[in-house]
Chain A
Amino acid sequence: MKISQRRAFSPRSAALGAAVLLLSACSGGTQNTANSSGDAGKPQYGGTLKFYDPVSYKAWQITNTLWSNSNVTTNLADRLTWQNPKTGKIEPWLAKSWTISPDHLTYTFTIRSGVTFSDGSKLDAKVVKHNLDQHAFGDKKLGVAPDEFFANYAGTKVVDPRTVRVTLSKPNAGFLQVLSIYRTGILAESYLKKDWNDKGKLTSLIGSGPFVVAGGNGTTNVVLKRRDDYNWAPKSFKHQGKAYLSEIRYTTVPEQSTAVGALQSQQADVVRNIAPDDEETVKSSGGQVEAFPAQGESNALHISLAANAPTRDIEVRRALQAATDRKEINDIALSPSYGVAKSILVHGTPKRPDGSAYLKYDPAKAKRLLEAAGWKTGPDGIRTKKGERLSFTLYVTPYYQVSQAVVEVLQSQWKKAGIEVKLKSPSLSQYEAEIGKNTVFTQGQLSRAEPDVLRSEWHSELADSTYTELPELNTLLEAQVAEFDPAKRTADIKAVQDYVLKNALAIPLYDETQVFGLRPNVQGFQTEAVARSQFYNTWLS
């Protein structure tokens, strides 16, 4: 899944943020605990919520994982299953119940009755099959590519109008979770028939969700209206029936300072992606700051073993790991809203193993390892070996708003160990055109509230983060996804992490987090498991 927190207008944003901070000489303020708003009495129906997003909207295919788009689509399309973001458990949604065959290859789902799409068509086994088939196999004529998440999907059989039998070619412990992701939202037949371009239109998204598209141009604004006949929310939701809000207005506001100012002056209700520097500004005017860990991988530097660089030496990689002070990254570049990285998975992700033993800041160890590897301190403090300087280029990654601040802190930390870091700050298209197997460090993370996300990242047949086939790692990754015993699977995930961190293939930096700014009267704000705002339970007091 793609994480795209585009830093729109970054240098200017920083300057503007500073300008506004200077101007708004506010003092004092209320503290707000992260997650779930305070008690404000009985929920009220009605009202329009204004949601500001820094990133403009791109194509509306359901599989588009862009943050801005998915914050909308998760409210439009219900899924077969719902993953409880607090417990990580998979609960029934459009699938009322299911059974799994002993070999874990056949799933029989009973489809909930009485569910309709917003165009009036009915949810039945046939349309569910069509949805899953199109994900798994794509459709060449329509320009639809197969979906990586459905890699071992063999097919679906319609047993009766309310029952489907899904067959996999290989067991997949994360399959029920795949069905819970917003990008697997079940859509009406009319969407499935459209070609890739037409699927990209906002109005094509006909789902069975609590909200429907009511307007907007689909690039800088979107208007959703409540469906009054909605009555099929997951059981664990705080209420049933229609949603509280009658309307949601999404607007692209690329300037952070404009968005924060609008929030402070009560013109916006929710602002996504509040910068660490702005959190205090929001709180000082009585607003709420709510942070949600984007479950999945921690934001980390992934090291390409194919790149011709000193990092081919495991001791150098381990030294970099030891020279990285994650607590300081959090203190200087981020805020308490972000978790300090203690694993290759973000806290809250199911079956996350503790990896802090590998991630201790130990400058003495870093120096020792580098000395042993033959890297001696040169006259300017930077280590050299046979005339080669220990020097790396780090990219300021355009997807992450906080990337610049984080890599700057890293630059200063590594310098203390005698490692030179040059920073490069490319535009998005420049970045996407440049990165590849010769890029030593790629900052990234995939978010999915399922430890199998590690397979997507590290398996040599999938994203192949090291650009090198590591058979042992592949085996470990394949083992965990075929393991259905929870305790054994937890151990398998730990084995994967042990391999990745022992070999220092990744340098975790921080827990990927989404920070929202809320007006004081926004109640019951929540997100689905990967921090996309789910507005069904939200209301305005």
Chain B
Amino acid sequence: MARYVLKRLAHTVLVLWAAYTLAFILLTALPGNAISNLINNPQNQLTPEDGKLLKAFYGLDHPVVVQYVRALDALLHGNLGYSLSSGAKVADLLGDALPGTLRLTALGFVFGAVIAAGVGVVGSYARWNWLRTLLQSFPALAASVPSFVIGILILYYFSFQLHLIPAVDDGTFLALVGPAVTLGIMVSAPLSQVFSASIAATRRQPFVHVLQARGAGERYIFGRGVLRNSSLPVLTMLGLAVGELIAGSVVTEAVFARNGIGQITLNAVNTQDLPVVQGVVLVATTGYVLVNLVVDVVHPLIDPRIRADILAARPKKTKGSEKGAIPARLGPDEATSPRLPEEVATR
């Protein structure tokens, strides 16, 4: 397991470097840069000489390759550089914005997971057909309504009308609820869709029929077999949802006027503020890669088959005891251990 995690961490470094380099190439390939745009704008009344001075000050008068190597070197020394539009240290800008975005995305994630779980379970097991139909149409609806519309509706009713939440971030937890629910609804769409479909698929598995034949109740079957089996695809989706949360925070932070990575990204891209965009790319990639690493690590904990695959891949332990571990675990106490469809089926 440690080897597996180490290998994944090495991948992470590679991905980070690739993302950083790609962002650098993309932004330098675009016409103009933060400083020359400033000079080109006649409204700024900067002479070309002023521009030269600024370019020299920010080291933009060197060839692109030199700029890249310098930026990379500085990065390895923990220096992300300075914003070209505000002059602030990129690390300070990110450090200031990150906690807000983390709080927002974390709570958004919780709301998303809760909504998805609720929609998935109730939509599959509700006694009333109308409720099931209603909930099954939720993912499509939530995915097709843009999050800024959801945000503005939440603002309109809960802030402007009912005065329950502040319209603009005032640092309180209450101000976090509106945007987090907005984000939650957004990410819950794919999650609940996959969860519902996965529950339906699992319930068609033979082991469920076997359990039913043995007289087990729906609740028991759900808790013992269906939940675990149908949550695997959802877990994979969770990793992807993190990307969506980061992207969604751009819009949500703008609607709810919250300082965060989203707002910073928007401004930096608008002004071609390369060092800030680079910093954002690093942070976002790190977050994305780490969450997916966690997902990959958690997978085998939930699904013994994957664990078995990982163990099987290790040459020294292929012979003997390890392979027999699963039947041995499953064997003696069928009633309490999780049943896996294939194993049940092959019996």
The chain A residues found within 8 Å of chain B, CB to CB, are 1-4, 6, 8-9, 12, 16, 19-20, 23-24, 52, 56-61, 65, 138, 140, 143, 145-146, 148, 196-201, 217-221, 251-255, 257-259, 261-262, 264-265, 267-268, 399, 427-430, 432-436, 442, 444, 446, 456, 462-463, 465
List residues of chain A with CB within 8 A of the CB of B152. Answer: 16, 19-20, 255, 257-258
A145-B46, A261-B155 known; A433+B53 contact, CB < 8 A? no
- Contact call A221/B259, Cβ cutoff below 8 A: yes
Band of interface residues on B: 35 or more
- Verify if B346 is at the interface (C-beta below 8 Å from A): no
Name B171's closest neighbour in chain A (CB-CB).
A221
Q: Which 7 A-B pairs have the closest CB atoms?
A: A200-B87, A433-B32, A145-B50, A143-B57, A432-B37, A262-B167, A220-B259
Q: Which residues does chain B contribute within 8 Å of A52, judged by CB atoms?
A: 168, 257
On chain A, the residues within 8 Å of B41 by CB distance are: 2, 432, 435
A444 in contact with B43 (CB, 8 Å): yes
Please determine whether A219 and B93 come into contact, CB atoms closer than 8 angstroms.
yes
A252 touches B257 (CB 8 A): yes
* Bound CA–CA A2/B43 (angstroms): 5
Say whether A200 contacts B45, CB under 8 Å: no
Most chain B beta-carbon neighbours within 10 Å: one of A9, A198, A221, A265: A265
Complex Cα spacing A60 to B88, Å = 10
User: B47 on the interface (CB 8 Å rule)?
Assistant: yes
Contacts across chains A and B counted by CB atoms under 8 Å: 169
Say whether chain B's binding surface is mostly helix, strand, loop, or mixed.
helix
Instruction: Decide yes or no: A12 and B148 within 8 Å by CB, A200-B88, A219-B93, A267-B166 being known contacts.
Output: yes
User: B122: CB under 8 A from chain A?
Assistant: no
Complex partner residue of A23 from B96, B156, B271, CB under 8 angstroms: B156
Q: How far is the CA of A4 from the CA of B271 in the complex (A)?
A: 13
User: Given known contacts A23-B156, A254-B254, A432-B37, is B32 in contact with A58 (CB within 8 Å)?
Assistant: no
Check B257–A254 contact: CB distance below 8 A: yes
B271 A429 Cβ-Cβ under 8 A: yes
Interface residues of B in 141-161 (CB under 8 A from A): 148-149, 152, 155-156, 159-161
Say how far A402's CB is from chain B's closest CB, in angstroms.
16
Expressed in whole angstroms, the Cα–Cα distance for A223 and B86 within the complex equals 17
- Quick check: A4 and B43 within 8 Å, CB to CB? yes
Report yes or no: A254 in contact with B263, Cβ–Cβ below 8 A: yes
How long is the Cα–Cα vector from A479 to B270 in the complex, in angstroms? 41
A265 adjacent to B163 (CB under 8 Å): yes
- A4's nearest neighbour on chain B, judged by CB, is B43
Residue of B nearest to A462 (CB): B45
Across the interface, do A218 and B86 meet the contact criterion of CB distance under 8 Å?
Answer: yes
A262, B255: Cα distance in complex, Å: 12
Bound-state CA distance A148–B51 (Å) is: 13
* B67 CB → nearest A CB, Å: 17
Bound CA–CA A253/B159 (angstroms): 15
Residue in A3, A252, A258 whose beta carbon sits within 8 Å of that of B167 in the complex? A258
Minimum C-beta distance from B13 to chain A (A): 30
- A221 CA / B82 CA spacing, docked (Å): 19
| Residue pair B96, A429 in contact (C-beta under 8 Å) | no
- Using Cβ atoms and an 8 Å threshold, which residues of chain A touch B148? 12, 16, 255
- Cα–Cα, bound, A146→B48 (Å): 12
A-B contact list, 30 entries, CB within 8 Å: A2-B44, A9-B254, A56-B267, A57-B86, A58-B85, A58-B271, A59-B85, A59-B86, A59-B88, A61-B87, A145-B47, A200-B87, A219-B93, A221-B259, A251-B168, A252-B259, A254-B257, A254-B266, A258-B168, A259-B257, A264-B160, A265-B159, A268-B168, A429-B37, A429-B272, A430-B31, A432-B37, A432-B38, A433-B36, A463-B42
